[in-house]
Amino acid sequence: MIPGKQYSPDQLLWAVWSRKWLILVSFVLITTASIVVAGRMRDRYRAEALIVTTQQSVSEEFVRATITPRTQIRDRLPTISQQILSRSRLEPVIRDLNLYAEMREMAPM
């Protein structure tokens, strides 16, 4: 192609058609390489949760408080975290989503 020269659509189509094998082979090689690289990448999972706590809004005349005023949110959050991250809660999630399949084959959970 010559810079500054005007080309018709027919000429452009002919230029692409004459190089069809170069374009096709390049496309196949790049697609195959992308699939292989993506298949070998390790899976990464990340989950986050936000726990919002509020003070009791119902009068104590109607509902008895289950938590004493001395118990602070700071004191309860480690307990909640331990419950969420416990083995009994995580094992079903790992099995249901088939996480760490290769590692589970080599060693017991």
Query: 65-98: per-residue pLDDT in tens?
Result: 666 655 667 777 888 888 888 888 888 888 898 8
CA distance 19 to 24: 9
H helix runs in the chain, sequence order: 9-18, 20-40, 73-84, 87-96, 101-106
pLDDT of residue 34: 96
In this prediction, residues 17-24 reach a mean pLDDT of 92
Q: Are 83 and 89 in contact (CB under 8 A)?
A: yes
With pLDDT > 70 as the criterion, what percentage of the chain qualifies?
81
pLDDT of residue 22: 93
Query: 45-68: per-residue pLDDT in tens?
Result: 777 877 777 666 666 666 666 666
* Domain coordinates in residue numbering, the chain: 8-40, 67-109
CA distance 44 to 41: 9
Phi/psi of residue 108, nearest 5 degrees: -65, 155
Residue 16 identity: V
